[in-house]
Amino acid sequence: MPENERINRDGQISRRQFIKGAGIVVGSTAVGSSVLLGACGGEESTKTVTVTKAVDKYVCPVDNMQFDTLAALQAHFESEHAATGLNTIALNVNGKEYITEVKPYWSLTFVLREKLGLYGVKQGCGVGECGSCTVIMDGRSVYSCMVLAIECQGHQIKTVEGLSDGITLSSLQQAIVDNSAAQCGFCTPGFIMSARAFLDDNSNPTMDEVREALSGHVCMCGELKTIVDAVHGLGG
Amino acid sequence: MAQEFNVIGKVDCLDKQHPAIVTGRLDFAADHPLANKLYAATALSKEAHARILSIDTSQAMALPGVEAVCTYEDCPVMYQTILYWGQEIAAVAATDPFIAEQAAQLIEVEYETRPAVINMDEAFDPNSPLVGVWPDGNVQNVSEITRGDAEQGFNEADVVVEADIGPTAYYQHMRIEPESALAWWLEDEVYMHLHNRDPFGKRTETSLLLGVPEHKLHLFGHGCGGSHGSVANPNPQVIAAVLSKKAGKPVEMHYSRHADITQGAHQHEVACHAKLGAKQDGTFVACDLNAYGNGGHNPASFIRNMSASFDNTFACPNVKYVDRKCVTNRPETATWRNVTEPPSATFSTTIIDVLADELGMNPLDLRLKNLIQGTPKNQNTGVVFSSYGIKEVLEGLDQAIDFRTKWHAPGTKTLPDGRMHGIALTGHMSTFCSMWDPVGAIVNMTKDGKALISAGISRTGGGTVTAMCCIVAEMLGLKFDDVNVGDWGNTDVCSYGGMQAGSSRTITLGAGFYNAAKNAKEDLFAHAAKLLETTPDNLDAKDGVIFLKNNTSKTITHAEVCASFSGARGATIIGKGYGWTPQLIEPIGEFPVGSPCINLNACGTAVEVAVDTSTGEVEILKLVNCDDPGVAIFRRGAEHQILGCCMIQEGEALYYEQIFDDTTGATLNIGFLDHRHPTTLDSAVDKHEALIVETGDACGPYGCHGMGEPPCQSYAVISSAIFNAIGEWVTEYPIYPWRILKALGKA
């Protein structure tokens, strides 16, 4: 199970729940995503922590000041950053450097789609449950709906658009085509990005390992068997 | 099949849409950058039954970034009367979707609440409060079918069995793309990008709702992230259009999962009491079915004809079928994948297996014994079936799972690890494969002898577009790669392509493309005949080459003919075609060509399970799903429809359920984590097998009919396999482990 989903299941937290619970968008969203980015950073200990237990400090996503309570962070954000509006950031996506303006509470999904035009990133739920928005960040698959764009500076992001040169499909994409492992196609880019990150870590997986690696995704058309077969067939 | 094909049914034909899907290029409704685009969000009712007394949008409008708000007072798809928890009451358009969501929460509503009826048993109680605006009560649409004399039949039966079956689960489609639309109101014209399976139908509906004439509505169908019977209502595009008119900017309405699970269509729940009588040798003599369905708040839901699976498959001289449908304060039910037939097949599968157990008879033999004999036809109307491949399906399943060898008496086989082994098999004729309305299709040949095809329908999966390419290539004598998908789903330039529903496109739209390609071929061959100095009827074509039937060495390529036809700047060859109505194009028995007919699809499933009687857990050991598409036009697509249905059958039997609070009507399990779907860890993905048998169809183009939905209807076979394992029936769905333990007296 991907770390981001594990956190969501264990911590029973989602960006939208946080937004509703806190009433203030900007302050609250920083909490969940800080932990997620920690998980992306590669520390093994962050793999299984739950959000509620892991957060002992609330970190401002703009200036990194730490607070003991969410309310204190919210108050700080309102007083210090509420008027800042758009922030100019640099995002490294598919090997290119993009300079774009974002608001502090915008999800990475939203920015990739609406500001960078990378519509291969799909939003199926927006709360870290379906996997359609999966991108690779620093080599690991993450739900981009659970990550704030403003925190992604300095990270290497890859979307499905970055897997091929526009002329020839990558081996993974070709395997999906050859196995006819898609129907409506909405969930497919997310599956592909998780599979890519997984195969980069484990080039010769067992069938069970593939099934576990892709278990953070939902496909309603029922291509689970063929996607697993396609990814497993690339091993070895 | 006797007919040899060059393209149809070939395994090397791959889905035309897949390269666009795996690169992220296939565009869905919300995948369109537009300057100054606004994002909409909806406010949802917190009551299940109420009337809105007042609605205050001032706080929402005051939020920076909000540019427009609409409510029931100015949006024709919202209502002052609330009939279910989660009903849309207002919508907001803002500069980003997060502001829109926040603003939607700021809309204040004052309700006059009314008593809500949430569950089916309450609704059928004549003393329950009225669910909605229907003064004639909560029980709607009672229908009855009788044939022979059921009472007399039961008197003559040697064995009579009865069973209470269901209720089946009430659940949401949960396709992965939420309902979406992008609308832009410019002066008196409206442009709309749709996540919808029926662009032309939506054009008419939207025209009526918005008061904009159809020639000023420009609708573009796109990729459709799963339909499964949903995405039929016009709400997203109408709301987006209303907000766009107010704001003067394009508006994208991409439902939140919360909104989608309450606004989208749902599968209804059904419970029934069934009674089946037979002679000692297993011959059916009488059947009685009393079915009760929960249609949610809309009485127009599709609960009907719960006897169809049984009655279209098995001969029975005396029947009485009664369907009753109630309304409740739940979200709408509408078409789900295969609509009425999964619960219909559930009734049929279970009562036949109950009878087989009572008779001590192999369930396969019992089914084979009772198939309709002679010319297959509807037992009530006498209209002929254009195909009837059920015997081949049942025998195919028997071979695939070795049913006769493995079947055993219920509760008698223990596996080495202590779990109980169960096996079951079922099969029916499904009505979901049939020819609907005549459609229009266009084939546009290029100067280099290839073809582009166009139709006004969404891209709900690549199966339809690829199957159409196969039909056109076969008719024109082109290679599969030489036919490509052109403009698709654009109501301005395409002809009416019908609704992507009822598994009807392969046969219906296929008939349109069959005729369109035939029309193009007439011009192609007429010009080729001139060049070859012969007559068109002497010509044939294959792999892009036209040749004389009696002298295959005298040839000319499609490219040469098309280039000559068009000249340097001339017109290209265009073929247009319309589909046909359901009538035989080949005779069957006493029915000649031209006879009205019914298209049916034979489908069935066989499954082996292991049941842990200490935990109630069920493991699928093998699940073989079989379908008869008549002829598999796009073989890969057909196989994958069947495989997909394996997972859906697991879901319907073991997972899917939307849970409602009994008092408030609130959905308690919003989202994919709680409204569960099998994942790669849950589903027995490596135990699924797809099996195709082809028996032809005397109505469809090249002998085909549709086949997308029928393979998902046999999920009750899992219940029968559990019975075969433990010797106790569990027919309430989903079959949670606790229900099995309860049946075993352990919970």
User: What interface predicted TM-score (ipTM) does this complex get?
Assistant: 0.96
CATH of B386-434+590-747, one of 3.40.710.10, 3.30.365.10, 3.30.930.10, 3.40.50.410: 3.30.365.10
Least confident of A32-36, B26-30, B195-199: A32-36
Q: Do B680 and A113 touch (CB under 8 A)?
A: no
Strand A134-137 to strand A140-143: parallel, antiparallel, or no bridges (unpaired)? antiparallel
Q: Which residues of B touch A215 (CB under 8 A)?
A: 679-681
Q: Do A180 and B671 touch (CB under 8 A)?
A: no
Structure confidence at residue A84 as a pLDDT band (50, 70, 90): low
Strand B66-71 to strand B88-94: parallel, antiparallel, or no bridges (unpaired)? antiparallel
Q: Does residue A13 carry a pLDDT above 60?
A: no
What are the tens digits of pLDDT across the range B698-723?
999 999 999 999 999 999 999 999 99
**Contact assessment for residue B627 and residue B638, using Cβ atoms and an 8 Å cutoff:** yes
Q: Does residue A23 carry a pLDDT above 90?
A: no
Residue B715's nearest CA partner among B730, B695, B693, B694 is B730
Burial A10-24 (b: 16+ CB within 10 A, else e): ebebbbbebbeebeb
Q: The tokens of B569 are what?
A: 């700047």
Structure confidence at residue B253 as a pLDDT band (50, 70, 90): very high
Of A129, A188, A207, the CB nearest to B671: A129
Of B21, B30, B671, the CB nearest to A188: B21
Q: Do A220 and B19 touch (CB under 8 A)?
A: no
Residues B461, B467, B470, CA angle at the centre, nearest 5°? 145
Mean pLDDT of B596-625: 98
The span from the CA of B431 to the CA of B417, in Å, is: 42
Could you tell me the CA-to-CA distances from B105 to B20, B263, B290, B463 in Å, in that order?
37, 17, 44, 41
Equal CATH topology for B38-114+177-225+231-263 and B440-578: no
pLDDT of A31: 30
pLDDT of A22: 28
Q: Do B643 and A223 touch (CB under 8 A)?
A: yes
CATH code for the part of the protein at B440-578 = 3.30.365.10
SS3 B591: strand
Q: Do A186 and B223 touch (CB under 8 A)?
A: yes
The span from the CA of B162 to the CA of B441, in Å, is: 50
Q: Do B18 and A180 touch (CB under 8 A)?
A: yes
Q: Which residues of A touch B652 (CB under 8 A)?
A: none
Percent of chain B predicted with pLDDT > 90: 87
Q: Do B685 and A113 touch (CB under 8 A)?
A: no
How many beta-carbon pairs below 8 A join chains A and B? 199
- Taking phi first (over 0 means left), then psi (-120 to 50 degrees means alpha), and beta for anything else, what does residue B228 get? left
Q: Does residue A51 carry a pLDDT above 50?
A: no
pLDDT of B2: 59
Q: Do A224 and B22 touch (CB under 8 A)?
A: no
Of B27, B173, B174, the CB nearest to A119: B27
What are the tens digits of pLDDT across the range B210-244?
999 999 999 998 888 888 888 888 999 999 999 99
Structure confidence at residue B679 as a pLDDT band (50, 70, 90): very high
Candidates B23, B174, B180, B503, partner chain A, best to mutate (most A CBs within 10 A):
B23
Mean pLDDT of B509-530: 97
**Contact assessment for residue B64 and residue B25, using Cβ atoms and an 8 Å cutoff:** no
The span from the CA of B402 to the CA of B395, in Å, is: 10
**How many angstroms separate the CA of residue B13 from the nearest CA in chain A?**
10
Mean pLDDT of B106-130: 95
Name the closest residue on chain B to residue A207, using Cα atoms: B686
Q: Do B672 and A214 touch (CB under 8 A)?
A: no
The span from the CA of B95 to the CA of B86, in Å, is: 24
Residue identified by tokens 């059916």 is B284
Name the closest residue on chain A to residue B672, using Cα atoms: A129
Strand B88-94 to strand B38-44: parallel, antiparallel, or no bridges (unpaired)? antiparallel
Burial A72-95 (b: 16+ CB within 10 A, else e): ebbebbeeebeeeeebebebebbe
Q: Which residues of B touch A106 (CB under 8 A)?
A: 96, 98
Write down the pTM of the prediction.
0.91
Q: Which residues of B touch A220 (CB under 8 A)?
A: 173-176, 226, 228, 677
Residue A163's nearest CA partner among A131, A193, A194 is A193
Question: Any idea what DSSP says for residue A151?
Answer: G
> What is the rounded average pLDDT for all residues in chain B?
95
Q: Does residue A6 carry a pLDDT above 90?
A: no
CATH code for the part of the protein at A84-161 = 3.10.20.30
pLDDT of B584: 97
CATH code for the part of the protein at B118-174+266-362 = 3.30.365.10
Residue B272's nearest CA partner among B333, B172, B351 is B351
Domain with residues B38-114+177-225+231-263, CATH architecture: Alpha-Beta Complex (3.90)
Residues 6 or more apart in contact with residue B380 via CB below 8 angstroms: B145, B147, B311
- Cα-flanking dihedrals φ and ψ of residue B259, to 5°? -65, -40
Q: Do A106 and B98 touch (CB under 8 A)?
A: yes
Sign of the Cα torsion A147, A153, A156, A161 reads: positive
Name the closest residue on chain B to residue A183, using Cα atoms: B461
**How many angstroms separate the CA of residue A45 from the nearest CA in chain B?**
24
**How many angstroms separate the CA of residue A198 from the nearest CA in chain B?**
15
Q: Does residue B33 carry a pLDDT above 50?
A: yes
pLDDT of A55: 57
Domain with residues A171-233, CATH architecture: Orthogonal Bundle (1.10)
Percent of chain B predicted with pLDDT > 70: 100
Q: Which residues of B touch A103 (CB under 8 A)?
A: 96
| Domain ranges within chain A, ordered by starting residue | 3-83, 84-161, 171-233
Name the closest residue on chain B to residue A130, using Cα atoms: B672
Question: Any idea what DSSP says for residue A216?
Answer: T
Structure confidence at residue A27 as a pLDDT band (50, 70, 90): very low
| Domain ranges within chain B, ordered by starting residue | 38-114+177-225+231-263, 118-174+266-362, 386-434+590-747, 440-578
Least confident of A11-25, B440-454, B491-505: A11-25
What are the tens digits of pLDDT across the range B567-595?
888 899 999 999 999 999 999 999 999 99
Mean pLDDT of B464-469: 96
pLDDT of A20: 31
Q: Do A223 and B644 touch (CB under 8 A)?
A: yes
Residue identified by tokens 């990814």 is A231
Candidates B336, B481, B679, B683, partner chain A, best to mutate (most A CBs within 10 A):
B679
> What is the rounded average pLDDT for all residues in chain A?
78
The span from the CA of A125 to the CA of A188, in Å, is: 15
Of B26, B672, B686, the CB nearest to A185: B26
Mean pLDDT of B307-330: 96
